Amino acid sequence: MVTQAQTTIPATEPQSEPTLTYQPNVDICDLGAEVLLVADIPGAHAAGIDVTFEDGVLALRAAVPPRILPGRSMRQEYGIGNYRRSFRLGDGFDASQISADYKKGVLTIHVPRLAAVRPRKVEVKTA
């Protein structure tokens, strides 16, 4: 069964956050046994990253400390702020086995499927 991934708007988020919040660019690939979610969150520190999975919704939040560069602005093509994004992954995932690692500004989340719903190849026997 194909997992449908879609963005969801968290309704319970507090609106008064100290800094701006951005949606990170994300790749989601389904490897069968697990779904891999890869997010670009440059500037975040591992300690400030929060990943939760609840009711089929995978949410990631990352706090980014402000970066102050000297001088006056000549060009500003992106903003610096926290990251937040969530996806509805549906049922059939093993929440207790979700793992995440952060390296070089990229957060990789492994969401394994429950063994019962993993795709498996059925051997066809000849009589």
Partner 1 sequence: MPILRPGFALPFEELRDELDRVWTTLTAAPPVPGWGTRPAEGVFPAVVVRESDEAITVEAELPGLDADDVEITVAGDELLVKRSRPETCPVPPASGRTGDGDGDGDGEKQERVMWHRRERGTGAFERRIALPVVVDASRVEARLVDGVLTVTCPKAAECQPHKVAVRSV
Query: Applying CB under 8 A, which residues contact partner 1?
Result: 2-5, 25-32, 35-36, 38, 40-45, 67, 69-78, 104-106, 119
Query: Cβ of residue 16: shortest distance to partner 1, in angstroms?
Result: 26
Answer whether 37's CB lies under 8 Å from 18's CB: no
> Closest CB to partner 1 among 11 and 47?
47
State how far the Cα of 60 lies from the Cα of 112, in Å rounded to an integer.
17
Answer whether 23's CB lies under 8 Å from 62's CB: no
User: 37-71: string of b/e by CB count within 10 Å (b at 16+)?
Assistant: bebebebbeeebbebebeeeebbbbbbbeeeeeee
Query: Cβ of residue 56: shortest distance to partner 1, in angstroms?
Result: 14
Query: Cβ of residue 14: shortest distance to partner 1, in angstroms?
Result: 26
State how far the Cα of 105 lies from the Cα of 116, in Å rounded to an integer.
34
> Closest CB to partner 1 among 9 and 127?
9
> Closest CB to partner 1 among 55 and 77?
77
Query: Cβ of residue 34: shortest distance to partner 1, in angstroms?
Result: 10
> Closest CB to partner 1 among 15 and 46?
46
